[in-house]
Structure 1
């Protein structure tokens, strides 16, 4: 039997409606109507609140003291449970640059277990590295850097039960063109990152099939008026997605606004790049093999370089609205539909539309997260009247 969600506003696929009633049947979204359903129907009342699609984090390394590189299913499951408190209902566990053997084990573990997690749904794996260059290495271990290898990607894809959905490389590395063409042909989204590439090198990579710029501005050659670099390519090339970390530490709000204006908010993807200290107190943690200090809201390795973030995706949505650089509708789109679309999965998540899994969040008009639903079932909620 159907049940209905009543709320003041609904962020539906391609439009905002409300007040009204959204049908859910057997964990699947049905139709939306402004009219009250039949008297016998179950109605969950969220009067005064907003309903948005579950958020999709396509770049996250860890949460609540667990790291994807720990290669531990229980930790992976805890991450999936924990990110429900961030409004995330789908995500890509993200690896770090490491040895081939370590990455073999991690992708094999995720591939064997991703359907078993009890929280947010794992939609595939994001391999961040190891095909990067040293100048913009960030918190990646340069001892493992190498040229792109199609054979290694084939091995990882086989070990992961074809779970790899996205891989990041530096486009100036030897063999990048052939690698990009192969990966894109296998429906793996190729992202560009941790690179000192010229504008022309980035442009060639996109022409070969690359389609995402990873955490734009960070870990890449900057914009210069005589050499636009990776940042210029992220802004100017057509039909590519630009990730951005909107925690107030990685990118100045004005720079984020410039990117959104020139790239377009439909092609800007809010990500967290969150590491294991997300959802934890400040202190000392690890990111892969590097010690990290979390202080004043930022995670840094020795020397002061940023090492991922502790950002929660619902806070990124709230930040860009509070900074005055996006409307609530745009912010929600950049954290749900846009990331799903960037990896070719908007046909199954990131939207409130008929036939999609009923994964959604309940927000206050101030964009505070009140509840997270998976398949029509409440899996996270604040202890607050009217939320159940």
Structure 2
């Protein structure tokens, strides 16, 4: 057929809200074509019988992987992350910076501009600043000495330095000047997330009314729910048309609490993330998260001083698998929460996050046990379990 490079044959194809069983998916010049039941005899077939094809995963909150950290401020670190994330099923990601001083974050902005068109693996779809406008009360594994009130002047400079790639920024709603900042940021096309916060329900609601739309790793780093003052967690549960990041590693959030969130928000209101730090994909041992020493063992990353969780070593493919194994969602829904919903939360559905005709053919191959077998970018195999 004219323009068709090949057809993929598989047991199923995961679309956002359905699995197309059997059949063939066209790949046309590195982009998805249409799914169809039959193809011409002379067609080139990529045979994945016994497997399922799903869209590449999109990690919208990830600090590091494979020994590399965004805060290294080095191109080779982002290249290592980009290449190594392919083994986790992630074909798109937002490099995520930690709370830091203005100049350091400005360097990250400049770095990502260079990296976006340089890295050869998982695609950089933007830049996420997790901070610095947080509250010390829920500082987590971030340096409180850099925490401050939001500044439109700082945001303007970061947007200029990143050439508009700064696409997501997180803050605590109780900070002075939040409403004005949120309105301005959203007008500039920046998605505002809320977290690391001791805010009341009313403070969170005002930030959402101003345009904030994402909750930073729901449950973690926020004031909990009380029946007389709902707090930030109550706002996560109750405020509609918002997206909750969720870490499904079994350590940050109990599986039943994950289930509660999914039932309350709806599956389309939950975006699976990793919050992974540099030790992801590495052996247990001592690492750094930004400026803090971290000990990795027994599946967790914890600050050496105090023992608090310090990001994760979770791989997004495993978060999807956990959701299915815990009985929280079916395969189609679990995949959607790690691809379509993250892309939608950032208005990037025209770039990634789904199998759709015309989009880049970034996809993954899964066996019946939900184990990753291969990763493809632009219709080309870039990682395989066999190699």
Is this a same-fold pair by TM over 0.5? yes
SS for the counterpart of 2:222 is: coil
What TM-score results when the alignment is normalised by the length of structure 1? 0.98
Deviating 4+ runs (over 4 angstroms) = none
SS for the counterpart of 1:135 is: helix
1:85 matched residue in structure 2: 87
1:29 to 32, 39, 62: 32
Deviation at 1:254, TM superposition (A): 0.3
Once residues 19 and 115 of structure 2 are traced to their aligned partners in structure 1, the CA distance between those partners, rounded to angstroms, is 36
- Kept in 2, the 8 Å contact 1:18–1:34? The answer is no
1:96 matched residue in structure 2: 98
Is 1:346 the equivalent of 2:349?
yes
Alignment of 1:281-292 (within 5 A): 281-292=283-294
1:300 matched residue in structure 2: 302
Alignment of 1:266-345 (within 5 A): 266-301=268-303, 302-345=305-348
Instruction: Provide the aligned C-alpha RMSD in A.
Output: 0.8
SS for the counterpart of 2:138 is: coil
2:372 matched residue in structure 1: 369
Deviation at 1:13, TM superposition (A): 3.6
Is 1:141 the equivalent of 2:143?
yes
Once residues 115 and 230 of structure 1 are traced to their aligned partners in structure 2, the CA distance between those partners, rounded to angstroms, is 38
Deviation at 1:267, TM superposition (A): 1.1
2:227 matched residue in structure 1: 225
Once residues 201 and 308 of structure 2 are traced to their aligned partners in structure 1, the CA distance between those partners, rounded to angstroms, is 24
What TM-score results when the alignment is normalised by the length of structure 2? 0.98
- Kept in 1, the 8 Å contact 2:16–2:336? The answer is no
2:255 to 221, 245, 253: 253
Deviation at 1:187, TM superposition (A): 1.1
- Kept in 2, the 8 Å contact 1:166–1:189? The answer is yes
Once residues 327 and 13 of structure 1 are traced to their aligned partners in structure 2, the CA distance between those partners, rounded to angstroms, is 12
Deviation at 1:91, TM superposition (A): 0.4
Query: 1:208-266, CA deviations, whole angstroms, 9 ceiling, x for partnerless residues?
Result: 00000010000000111111111111111010000000000000000000000010001
1:382 matched residue in structure 2: 385
Unaligned runs of 5+ in 2: none
